[in-house]
Amino acid sequence: MLNVLLSRTEGGFQWNMSSGLGSYTNTNKKGIGDEMNYIGFWEYSPEDFDKVIELFRQATVEREKGTGKFPKILFPSHGIGGEHKGFTVYENATPEQLTNLVLHYTPVMKFKILPIFESAKVVELYQKMKK
């Protein structure tokens, strides 16, 4: 499993990606080379539902302005039936966009954001690696 962790450093934020096979740390402030899709799992308390709606509205307005502050949505938010949690898939998000997203919803929502990969590309890379 690949884990993504955001930590604060003197120069700002640092993204750390690691797996059982090794680790990779990206401190590139511009997010160059970070074109990757992510799935964001989120949850909130039922009493915060009105706050979540307002924050979602604000983020939608920001996206419509085209500022790039938040990641582009590839697959819209879906709630898990009967619970106050769900997921959203983001397209080519940069560390800055993901950080802005999490900070925008903090402390009302909790997020867990993970990179996702197309299975066909993983198989292709695996087969090349074996040669």
Q: Taking Cα atoms as reference points, which of 89, 87, 97 lies closest to residue 15?
A: 97
Structural domains in the chain? 36-130 (3.30.70.1060)
Phi, psi angles (nearest 5°) of residue 30: -90, -5
Structure tokens at 49: 């539902």
Q: pTM score, two decimals?
A: 0.69
Angle at 116 between CA 111 and CA 117, to 5 degrees: 175
pLDDT digits (tens, 9 = 90+) for 76-124: 999 999 999 999 999 999 999 999 999 999 999 999 999 998 898 889 8
Task: Identify whether the C-beta of residue 6 lies closer than 8 Å to the C-beta of residue 99.
Answer: yes
Return d(Cα 84, Cα 127) in angstroms, integer.
41
Name which of 2-6, 36-40, 55-59, 74-78 the model is least confident about. Answer: 2-6
**What single letter denotes the amino acid at residue 59?**
A
pLDDT at 56: 96
Q: Which DSSP symbol is given to 118? A: -
